[in-house]
Amino acid sequence: MELFSDLNDRLLFAVPKKGRLHEKCLEFLAGADIQFHRKPRHDIALVKNHPMALVFLPAADIAKFVGLGKVDLGITGEDIIAETFLDQAERQSRIRQVMPLNFGRCRLAVQTPVKTGPTNVADLVGKRIVTSFEGLTKQYFKALEANQSNQPAAEITDAAMQTSVEFVGGSVEAACALGLADAIVDLVESGDTMRAAGLQAIGTVLESQAVLIANSRTKFSDLVAMIQARIEGVIASRKYVYVNYNIRRADLEQARDVTPGHRAPTITALLDPDWVAVSAMVLSAEVANVMDRLKTLGATDILVFTISNCRV
C-alpha cells in the first residue's frame, strides 16, 4: 500500500520484464543514470534519483498501457504498437513515438514450408495462417484478398475473410509441421528459428525495432525530454569511439581528412615541434578502416577508447 501511495506524482516508465528487449533496456537505464532497486518478484521499482517509478511489464502489454495513459512512458517494439493499435489515427492520437532505439530489429514475415509451401503470398489467400499477431495478419491478408476481388479492404469483415487466421501464443514456427497451418506470420531476425523449422520467408508484414514511446497527454513532458536526451547520449556513445594518435605536422591535413571528428579534431602540440597529437570521435563501424588509413599516413601510437556516455 505504501508503494502505491508513493507512485503519486511520479512518472511511470514501463520496461519489458523479460525477453529480447529486457537486457538492453536495463543497459539504457544504467547509461541514463536512472537508479532503482527492484525487490525480488516486485514489478514496480521506485527510482531513487528522479520522481519516477519503473513498471516491469510483458513487452506485449506496454503499448496498451502507454496508449491508455496507465503509464507515461515505455519501451517496446514497433510490431507490438502496430498490433495493439491497428488503426493508425488512433495510434497516433494516443502514443507519441519519442525515439527509435536502434535495437530489437526484426521483421514480421510470412513464412511457408521450404519443401511444399507456396513462394507467392497471393497463393495463401483462402489458406490457414497461424500467428501471434492476429490483427496485423488479418489486415495483411484482407489487403491481398481486396487485390484479388477488387473490393476495398476496409469492407472485408473478419467473418467474410476467405483466409483463416488463427492466434497462438508461442512456438508459432511449429504450426506448419504440426499440420495446423499452411503458413505462419512470425518475427525473424537472424532467420535461425525459421530455417530450423524448415520455413522460408515469402513476404514482410512490417519491419520493427525497439522504440521509446510516451502517452500523448502525459503531464511529465520535461522529464520525458530529459530521459530522451540521456538515452540519445547512450546511443551516441555506442555509435562512436574516441581515437587518439600522433602524426607529423606535415601530414596533419591528410590526417584531418581521415578523422574530421564530430565538429573538428582536437590538435595538441607535442614537445617535438615536428609532431602533433590528434583526438577525434570516429564512427565505431569505421574505426578499423580509419586506423589502417592513419597507419599508412605514418601515424603512431594510435589509441582507441570507448565512450561511456556523451552528448553530441
Ligand X SMILES: O=P(O)(O)OC[C@H]1O[C@H](OP(=O)(O)OP(=O)(O)O)[C@H](O)[C@@H]1O
Ligand Y SMILES: Nc1ncnc2c1ncn2[C@@H]1O[C@H](COP(=O)(O)OP(=O)(O)OP(=O)(O)O)[C@@H](O)[C@H]1O
- The sign one gets for the Cα dihedral 209, 210, 211, 214 is positive
Considering only residues 21-40, where is the footprint of ligand Y by CB under 6 A? 21
Which grid coordinates are listed for 121? 503470398
Shortest Å distance, C-beta 192 to ligand Y:
9
53 lines the binding site for ligand X (CB under 6 A) = no
Judged by CB under 6 A, which of 101, 144, 188, 255 binds ligand X? Answer: 188
205 lines the binding site for ligand Y (CB under 6 A) = no
Choose the one of ligand Y, ligand X, none that binds residue 58, judging by a C-beta under 5 to 8 angstroms depending on kind.
ligand Y
Choose the one of ligand Y, ligand X, none that binds residue 59, judging by a C-beta under 5 to 8 angstroms depending on kind.
ligand Y
DSSP one-letter code for 144: H
Judged by CB under 6 A, which of 78, 83, 134, 186 binds ligand X? Answer: 186
Q: Which of 11, 13, 10 lies closest to 29, judged by CA? A: 13
Nearer to ligand X, 73 or 172 (CB): 172
Nearer to ligand X, 19 or 69 (CB): 19
193 lines the binding site for ligand X (CB under 6 A) = yes
The secondary structure of the chain in percent helix, strand, coil, rounded to multiples of 5, reads 35, 30, 35
Which grid coordinates are listed for 105? 530489429
C-alpha distances (whole Å) from 208 to each of 100, 254, 271 are 10, 40, 53
Which grid coordinates are listed for 64? 496498451
Sheet with 300-306: list strands edge to edge. 266-269, 275-283, 240-248, 300-306
**Which string of x and - marks every residue 142-171 that binds ligand Y (by CB under 6 A)?**
----------------------------x-
Positions touching ligand X (CB under 6 A) are: 19-20, 170, 173, 186-194
